[in-house]
Amino acid sequence: MHRLGQLESAIMERMWSYQGAAAVRDILEDIQRDREIAYMTVKTVMDTLNRKGLLVREQDGRAFRYRPTKTREQYAAAHMGEVLAGGSDRTATLLHFLEQIPADEVAQLRVVLDQAAQIKAQTQASE
Amino acid sequence: MSAPLLLLVYAVAAAAVAPLLSRGTWSDRSPRVGILVWQTLSATIIAGIVFAGVALAVPAMPFTSNLADFLRACVMTLQEQYSTPGGAIVTTAGALTAAAVAARTGFCLLAELLSAHRARRQQLQSLALLARRDSSGQFLVVEHADAAAYCLPGRRNEIVFTSAALGALDKDQQAAVLAHEMAHLRGRHHLILAAANAIHRAFPRVPAFRIARTELMRLVEMDADDRAAHSSSRLTVATAVVRLAEANPAPSAALGAGGASALARVRRLASPTVPLGVLRTALAVTAAAAMLVLPLTVAAAPAVSSAYAQTCPTGFPASA
């Protein structure tokens, strides 16, 4: 992950762990416990996250307060939904090890595999 | 007139061969040979049609090293062809066909690559927030209850496991899946599939392209399986397929399209391999090479032969 991605990830991680809204300064102080970072850097990234639709912000006096648009679980679910929805249209985007298979066909797979394993065990035993 | 007709017949014949080629298990035995044959078959059908159009539009002109002569010859032959209404129609139709087929193919290919690129960038962005890198540094892990393992090709090749997928597999099986995905990335399989998708989307009514796409989707998986089996064992790869399938069955039969392909993979991995013999491999590779060269040769033949025969178009000034 490149550096900007890391910072976005660090900020989202904190936003998700906050209950409710947070100001840039809250996040800044939190991150500053680990490392040195400028207010404007955090603010810029949080505005980027806002533009990307990951954070919403509302005016609170002179500053903004931010909150995640989705919980981490919702965000992960949406992402994995995209990944698993795949189907044949998405083959150029990502290549699955395996497409999802209906349960009765999975049972068929198991039969074939067990037979093969059995044959292998037998040949090894006879050797 | 014979070159365009020949090319058209050739393209139709090549398209007609596709259903026959998809029969049998020859390609499963040597997936890489299969990939080569199906790719060249698709390419040769398109090239046949495009060159047929070009051959209609551009009459045979003699090659000459003198550019002025060549241009004058061009103008004269074109003038001649356009002088009759029939000739003009044929020429225009040929040019339009060639341009339309080439443009449509190119456009669909570009659209396919762009949308895949965009989708991948989106994916990488989400992964930056959701995933952690495994301690080996080789793949990303996303906490999720559904078992899935996949690769995201591109400038940053990434392989992703969900936590459920890791839980369903032991270390050897994880390594087998990793090797399978690495084979996809190294083999640039996403480009093979992008091209097959694009051609199918460009000409959805041509059964040959639909068949080629289905075959290629299966064959890249089998190729990756073979390479994964090199570093582990065939039975380990097969076990990984079954374990992952069991960990995450499709919620409904309508959603699970991978059943037939997975069954073919497991059957294939479960039994000893019998790759195509030298003779059949040589035959397939020769056929592929012929399919690449043939359309261009037929299209260029009249021009080449006229250059040799020195039969210039009428009124070609001898003194020039």
* Whether complex ipTM tops 0.85: no
Cα–Cα distance, B153 to B159 (Å, whole number): 8
Query: In this structure, are strands B158-162 and B140-142 parallel, antiparallel, or unpaired?
Result: parallel
Find the residue in A nearest to B174 (Cα). Answer: A97
What's the pTM? 0.84
Cα–Cα distance, B52 to B4 (Å, whole number): 4
**What pLDDT does residue B318 have?**
47
Cα–Cα distance, A60 to A42 (Å, whole number): 18
Domain ranges of chain A: 6-68, 87-126
**What pLDDT does residue B256 have?**
46
A8 in contact with B, Cβ within 8 Å: yes
Query: Among A36, A83, A112, which Cα is nearest to B146's?
Result: A83
**What pLDDT does residue B274 have?**
82
**What pLDDT does residue A35 have?**
85
In chain A, % of residues over pLDDT 90: 15
Token digits of residue B148: 């899935």
In chain A, which residues have their Cβ closer than 8 Å to the Cβ of B180?
97
What are A106-122's pLDDT values in tens digits?
888 899 999 888 888 88
> Which residues of chain B have a pLDDT value below 70?
1, 59-65, 251-259, 303-320
Assess contact for B75 and B67: CB atoms under 8 A: no
Cα–Cα distance, B143 to B127 (Å, whole number): 11
Distances (CA, A) of B115 to B109, B160, B166, B194: 10, 20, 29, 10
**What pLDDT does residue B257 have?**
55
Report the CATH architecture of A6-68: Orthogonal Bundle (1.10)
Average pLDDT of the residues of chain A = 84
In chain B, which residues have their Cβ closer than 8 Å to the Cβ of A52?
125
What are B248-271's pLDDT values in tens digits?
877 665 544 566 788 889 999 988
